[in-house]
């Protein structure tokens, strides 16, 4: 009999672990592997939502990598369209790929964008022993021989990280974009590893992914793609100060499924605003090189619609879509 009850206990415990552990918790999907920007968004917002008592159970984070966020997007649109307990990390990369019709025909109006609560400045870095000292050096080298430089980034080819150097090159008058070499890796950390190892000559990414490596001295930032220097990283020159009129900030925010009600949407918007207003979030932004950038609710949705149109135009200009 003891044997039997022991068995029952085991089986029951295992099943309870499988089934019961997450009965009504909010789930946040990070559409990339752990360690990248989307993962960061889910972890931090998820933690604050719980710490600030905006949700009553810890937020569970699911990493769903693939196709630059397309896998998660497809999943949300097709499988979870009415799930009001689901939030998904989003960023400029999401709208970029939507604008380029890169999510297998999915469009930006198939989900609702709740808000952005921070901006992650774009950065271009090289290994510490790289011959390139300024952004100008790098651009000149590419102009002279486009095959001499390979960029590594955390997004797929044609994605936001890929567009960053192309925008810089465009502002410098170089438009043969197809010749610029770029490899997409799973997240910024891997891209940095490849650059430190000398397999790629430069890495493009967001400040939050790179901050630790800049501080440790393994990589050197050539330029930050913001209007003003980023607090905490004042010694990194902006691209503008080096004569390249480019500004690329990767906003960090969330989208939710299309099928939820307006009330549920507004509830998420309020919660996100509360996170944005908290002192904890301001500290997190400062620690991770994020610049303040808050747009929430209907306001944000309208802004996104404009961004998608602009990005589509830009992508056509630089030739990544027809």
Question: Interaction with other proteins in 3-62: which residues (CB under 8 A)?
Answer: 3-4, 6-8, 10-15, 17-23, 25, 27, 31, 33-35, 39-40, 43-44, 46-47, 50, 57-58, 60-62
Query: Shortest approach of other proteins to residue 201 CB, angstroms?
Result: 9
How many CA atoms lie less than 13 Å away from 112 in the CB half-sphere? 26
The total number of residues shown for the chain amounts to: 322
- The only residue of 49, 55, 64, 225 in contact with other proteins, by rule CB under 8 A: 64
| Residue whose entry in the numeric block shows the structure tokens 């949407």 | 265
CA atoms within 13 A on the CB side of 141: 17
Q: Which one of 52, 63, 136, 174 is in contact with other proteins (CB under 8 A)?
A: 63
84/55 Cα distance (integer angstroms): 12
Quick note: the x/- pattern for other proteins over 135-154, rule CB under 8 A, is ------------x--x----
Helix and strand totals (H; E) in the chain: 11, 10
Q: At a CB cut-off of 8 Å and minimum separation 6, what does 136 contact?
A: 242, 243
Q: How far is the CB of 97 from other proteins (least distance, A)?
A: 7
Strand locations in 14-98 (E):
27-30, 60-63, 86-91
Q: How far is the CB of 215 from other proteins (least distance, A)?
A: 6
Piece of the chain touching other proteins by CB under 8 A; list 118-126, 181-189, 268-276, 298-306: 181-189
Q: Measured between alpha carbons, how far is residue 107 from residues 42, 98, 100, 263 in Å? A: 22, 6, 9, 23
232 binds other proteins, rule: CB under 8 A? no
> In whole angstroms, what is the distance from residue 109 CA to residue 133 CA?
43
Q: How far is the CB of 33 from other proteins (least distance, A)?
A: 6
Q: Which of 120, 161, 190, 206 binds other proteins (CB under 8 A)?
A: 190
* Min separation Cβ 321 and other proteins, Å: 6
Of 197 and 302, the one with the shorter C-beta distance to other proteins is 197
Number of residues that bind other proteins (CB under 8 A): 86
CB of 242 to other proteins, least distance (A): 26
Q: Which of residues 79-98 bind other proteins (CB under 8 A)?
A: 79, 97
Contact predicate 175/318, CB 8 Å:
yes
Q: Whole-angstrom Cα distance, residue 61 to residue 48?
A: 13
- The residues in 197-216 that bind other proteins, with binding defined as CB under 8 A, are 197-200, 212-213, 215-216
Binds other proteins by CB under 8 A, chosen from 37, 38, 54, 68? 68
Degrees to nearest 5, angle at CA 190 with 207 and 197: 105
The 8-class DSSP code of residue 230 comes to P
Under rule CB under 8 A, residue 104 binds other proteins:
yes
Q: Report the residue number, 78 or 261, with the smaller CB distance to other proteins.
A: 78
């Amino acid at each position: 009999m003891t044997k039997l009850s022991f068995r029952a206990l085991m089986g029951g415990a295992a099943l309870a672990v499988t089934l019961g552990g997450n009965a009504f918790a909010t789930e946040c999907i990070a559409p990339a592997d752990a360690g990248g920007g989307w993962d960061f968004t889910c972890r931090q917002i998820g933690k604050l939502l719980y710490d600030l008592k905006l949700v009553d159970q810890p937020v569970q984070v699911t990493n769903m990598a693939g196709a630059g966020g397309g896998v998660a997007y497809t999943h949300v649109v097709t499988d979870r369209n009415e799930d009001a307990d689901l939030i998904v990390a989003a960023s400029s990369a999401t709208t970029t790929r939507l604008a380029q019709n890169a999510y297998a025909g999915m469009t930006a109006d198939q989900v609702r964008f709740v808000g952005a609560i921070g901006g992650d400045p774009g950065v271009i870095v090289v290994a510490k022993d790289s011959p390139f000292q300024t952004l100008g050096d790098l651009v000149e080298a590419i102009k002279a021989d486009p095959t001499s430089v390979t960029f590594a980034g955390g997004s797929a080819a044609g994605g936001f990280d890929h567009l960053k150097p192309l925008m810089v090159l465009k502002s410098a008058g170089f438009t043969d974009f197809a010749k610029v070499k770029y490899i997409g890796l799973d997240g910024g950390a891997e891209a940095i590893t490849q650059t430190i190892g000398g397999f790629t000559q430069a890495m493009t990414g967001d400040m939050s992914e790179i901050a630790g490596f800049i501080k440790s001295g393994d990589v050197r930032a050539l330029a930050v793609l913001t209007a003003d220097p980023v607090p905490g990283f004042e010694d990194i020159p902006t691209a503008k100060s080096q004569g390249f009129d480019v500004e690329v900030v990767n906003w960090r925010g969330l989208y939710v499924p299309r099928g939820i009600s307006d009330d549920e949407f507004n509830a998420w918007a309020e919660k996100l605003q509360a996170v944005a207003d908290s002192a904890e979030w301001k500290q997190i932004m400062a620690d991770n090189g994020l610049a303040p950038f808050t747009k929430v609710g209907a306001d944000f949705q309208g802004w996104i619609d404009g961004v998608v149109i602009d990005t589509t135009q830009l992508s056509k200009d630089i030739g990544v879509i027809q």
